[in-house]
Amino acid sequence: MLDFTEDQIKRYSRHIILSEVGGRGQKKINDAKVFMVGAGGIGAPVGYYLVAAGVGKLGIVDSDTVELSNLQRQIAHSTDSVGAYKTESAKKTFEGLNPDVEVVTYNERLSSENIMDLIKDYDIVVDGSDNFPTRYLVNDACVLSNKPLSSGAVFRFDGQATTIIPHEGHCYRCLFESPPPPGMVPSCQEAGVLGVLPGLIGLIQATEVLKLIIGKGDLLENYLLIYNALEMSFRKVKVPRNPNCPVCGEKPTITELIDYDEFCQMRF
């Protein structure tokens, strides 16, 4: 029999009674190690629900501190934690929810120097970053180290999510081969997002992570899920693996990590 405590059997009972999860699947969740890039709009709900589900270890990297303007959507933080590191604030919230989970925090900025080392002890990576340099860095690092990646992004009323299983399905560069030129993409000119939107996209990512862990269902592998809140529309667009992809293709030209410059220096 699987060695759950009485409390764990109660805590995870609604998982355990699902035949697709069961005691065995719950044990896999309890043993899983997930690395989260960002403890912001997406990271907060992803982390919250993965901790509720009982993942064994949750690593969080973020160098930002909590600001009042974050609280409209970054639900792992509270009014009291304004000024604190987002990682520490999230850790406090998550540990209050589920003491089973080991929450490990990294108060640093991801770069080509540290990412490989940071992710190496984790099974799955979740990207909830807010900038292109990080998004490409995380994709490339996951492809080069062969780690599954759940990637998500939001803007205004739109969201995207996809799941990358390196060398099996597509990667971010198979579709978006290289970053857009600085200042070209509207996120640089105007900031704004409906507060619930990263929650919705984040929970789609958390769902993908749980499915990856228990090995059930169909992933967003080779698909980009596109959501629009105003139309309340979900579209799954097929994204084929690109044999000419610069990082996961047959003749890769990117064999080491790149630190792109910040795309947009505008402050708000």
Partner 1 sequence: MEVVVNGKPEQTEDGSTIASILEKRNIRKEMVAVEVNGEVVKRDDYDSLVLKDGDKVEFLFYMSGGAEKR
Chain residues in the site for Zn ion (CB under 5 A): 171, 173-174, 245, 248
Side chain identity at residue 14, one-letter code? R
Name the binder of 260 from Zn ion, partner 1, none, CB < 5-8 A by kind: none
Q: Which is nearer to partner 1, 174 or 247 (CB)?
A: 174
CB of 154 to partner 1, least distance (A): 6
Name the binder of 240 from partner 1, Zn ion, none, CB < 5-8 A by kind: partner 1
CB of 68 to partner 1, least distance (A): 13
Side chain identity at residue 79, one-letter code? T
Candidates 59, 160, 154, 161; CA nearest to 110 is: 59
Q: Which is nearer to partner 1, 38 or 54 (CB)?
A: 38
Name the binder of 142 from Zn ion, partner 1, none, CB < 5-8 A by kind: none
**Interface with partner 1 by CB under 8 A: which residues?**
40-42, 64, 73, 128-132, 135, 152-155, 158-160, 174-177, 179-181, 184-188, 191-193, 198, 224, 226, 235, 237-240, 242, 262-265, 267-268
Q: Which is nearer to partner 1, 238 or 251 (CB)?
A: 238
Q: Which is nearer to partner 1, 95 or 259 (CB)?
A: 259
Name the binder of 181 from partner 1, Zn ion, none, CB < 5-8 A by kind: partner 1
CB of 254 to partner 1, least distance (A): 17
* Contact between 101 and 57 (Cβ < 8 Å): yes
User: What residues form DSSP beta bridges with 172?
Assistant: none
CB of 31 to partner 1, least distance (A): 29
CB of 38 to partner 1, least distance (A): 8
CB of 129 to partner 1, least distance (A): 6
Name the binder of 157 from Zn ion, partner 1, none, CB < 5-8 A by kind: none
Q: Which is nearer to partner 1, 19 or 268 (CB)?
A: 268
